[in-house]
């Protein structure tokens, strides 16, 4: 019998949501709300999950698949698993070791972590703890010198790519945070921003996080700024927050070397289409010109399989590994990822897919069950 992050009892962590239960028990209610909530009426948050629930599989039989290979090739690197950790701000809100625990857990499976610009540990400490490659996520900030400084630090510390989040000209109204007047206290807050990291308190009906974003994020950014960002670095630049074929085209035309199809986990435009729906139009438009990543609502291995079959090159995981982090630090992250990998391997076997290259649109049925 195995024990898991859920305690000394025989393992009951049979699905990632089991880690959410323990995470919620460990976190302050306002932090739990920040982690799990979305914007507005949380329609897009729910839609991301529903889209995966609705798709059905068309498995193949008698393919002789005993040991599926879950690896993918990206930017001339072999990833042993087709998923990475999505950028999630301020991991110290969830666990005292913060991003250091996250990258240790991810590193155990060789999974890339996309370190958030708003990390609560230094880029260098995170790098020192990492057992797998790291990428750095940036927001468009009014202070461009801050962006170039972070790019230089990421390059010197050996980060492998930049992910520029482009779906947050303004932070959407997240009603749970507004009700809670949610503030990230400095001890859990961003540590890589110098004086730009100063805390902004929320006023009446305002969240501190949203007030901070309003002050520092740049709503005037355009595709030209993407060209500028590319000119500052030798690292691949990947645009996060693409939801349409048109923007996927524009991203590539303006120099993006990859795109992340994402509605920010239902935290930005409430009513935006689900990430899985958007993935289909983006992969059709790009036809393999640059790697396509997707995030939003991926909770189990079969969701990863569906995303790859719909044309993603790899999947990013946001809340699921963060439940593990909150539940049990490094070990919890590792266990969540191991669970998703085990589910993926089982689903690949049952679909008769020996490699990730065997996962294509033929596997998917979009009509009713
Ligand atoms: C608590 C929280 C904080 C986040 N912080 C960031 C961030 O700093 N930068 C960013 O680009 N995305 C951020 N995201 C969005 C994630 O990168 C990702 O797009 C989303 O969580 C994917 O959906 P999922 O949680 O359903 O997997 C955050 C998401 C959550 C839940
Ligand atoms: C602190 C925020 C800017 C990060 C966040 O909540 C998000 O990106 O969804």
Instruction: Supply the CATH number for residue 57's domain.
Output: 3.20.20.70
d(CA 265, CA 47): 10
Residue 13 lies in a domain: no
Domain assignment present for 12: no
265 lines ligand 1 (CB under 6 A): yes
- The secondary structure of residue 235, as a DSSP letter, is S
In a domain, 85, yes or no: yes
Q: How much is the pLDDT for 11?
A: 55
Give me the number of domains the chain comprises: 1
The reply to whether ipTM tops 0.95 is yes
Predicted structure pTM score: 0.96
Ligand 1 lined by 116 (C-beta under 6 Å): yes
Q: Could you tell me the distance, in angstroms and rounded to a whole number, from the CA of residue 296 to the centre of ligand 1?
A: 8
pLDDT of res. 212: 81
Mean pLDDT of the chain: 94
pLDDT at 194: 80
Task: List phi, psi (to 5°) of 84.
Answer: -135, 170
User: What pLDDT sits at residue 213?
Assistant: 84
Q: How many CB atoms lie within 10 A of CB 210?
A: 19
Is there a domain that residue 189 lies in? Answer: yes
Mutation to probe ligand 2, out of 88, 200, 316 (largest number of atoms < 8 A from CB): 88
In a domain, 260, yes or no: yes
Q: Which atom of ligand 2 sits closest to the CA of residue 139?
A: 3
Task: Name the burial class of residue 156, with classes exposed (0-12), middle (13-18) and buried (19+) by CB atoms within 10 angstroms of its CB.
Answer: exposed
Give start and end residues of each alpha helix (H) in the chain: 16-26, 29-36, 43-54, 99-107, 123-129, 144-156, 175-180, 208-216, 223-231, 245-253, 275-286, 301-309, 319-351
Residues 35-63: tens digit of each pLDDT:
999 999 999 999 999 999 999 999 999 99
**Where in the sequence is the domain holding 272, given as residue range(s)?**
3-7+19-365
- Cα–Cα distance between 334 and 351 in angstroms, integer? 25
Q: What is the pLDDT of residues 267-290, one digit of tens each?
A: 999 999 999 999 999 999 999 999
Is residue 277 domain-resident?
yes
Q: Which residues of 276-307 are buried (b: 16+ CB within 10 A; e: fewer)?
A: bbbbbbbbebbeeebbbbbbbbbbbbbbbbbb
Of 239, 244, 229, the C-alpha closest to 283 is 244
Which of 369, 368, 342, 347 lies closest to 359 in space, CA to CA? Answer: 347
């Amino acid at each position: 019998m195995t024990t898991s992050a859920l305690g000394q009892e025989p393992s009951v962590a049979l699905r990632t949501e089991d880690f959410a239960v323990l995470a919620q028990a460990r976190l302050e209610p306002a932090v739990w709300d920040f982690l799990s909530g979305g914007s507005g009426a949380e329609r897009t948050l729910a839609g991301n999950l529903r889209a995966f629930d609705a798709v059905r599989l068309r498995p193949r039989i008698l393919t002789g698949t005993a040991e599926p290979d879950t690896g993918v090739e990206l930017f001339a690197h072999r990833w042993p698993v087709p998923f990475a950790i999505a950028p999630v701000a301020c991991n110290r809100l969830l666990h005292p070791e913060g991003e250091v625990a996250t990258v240790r857990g991810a590193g155990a499976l060789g999974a890339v972590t996309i370190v958030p610009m708003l990390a609560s540990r230094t880029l260098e400490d995170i790098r020192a703890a990492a057992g797998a490659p790291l990428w750095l996520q940036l927001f468009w900030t009014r202070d461009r010198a801050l962006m170039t400084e972070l790019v230089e630090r990421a390059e010197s510390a050996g980060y492998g790519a930049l992910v520029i989040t482009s779906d947050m000209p303004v932070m959407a109204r997240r009603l749970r945070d507004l009700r809670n007047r949610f503030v990230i206290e400095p001890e859990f807050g961003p540590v890589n921003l110098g004086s730009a990291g100063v805390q902004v308190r929320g006023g009446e009906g305002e969240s501190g996080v949203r007030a901070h974003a309003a002050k520092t994020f740049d709503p005037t950014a355009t595709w030209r700024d993407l060209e500028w960002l590319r000119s500052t670095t030798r690292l691949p630049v990947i645009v996060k927050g693409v939801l349409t074929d048109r923007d996927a085209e524009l991203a590539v035309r303006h120099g993006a070397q990859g795109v992340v199809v994402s509605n920010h986990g239902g935290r930005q435009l409430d009513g935006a289409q689900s990430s899985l729906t958007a993935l289909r139009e983006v992969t059709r438009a790009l036809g393999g010109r640059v790697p396509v990543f997707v995030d939003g609502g991926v909770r189990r291995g079969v969701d990863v399989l569906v995303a790859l079959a719909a044309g993603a090159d790899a999947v990013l995981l946001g809340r699921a590994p963060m439940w593990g982090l909150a539940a049990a630090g490094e070990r919890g992250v590792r266990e969540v990822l191991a669970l998703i990998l085990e589910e993926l391997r089982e689903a690949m076997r049952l679909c008769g897919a020996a490699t990730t290259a065997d996962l294509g649109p033929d596997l998917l049925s979009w009509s009713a069950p």
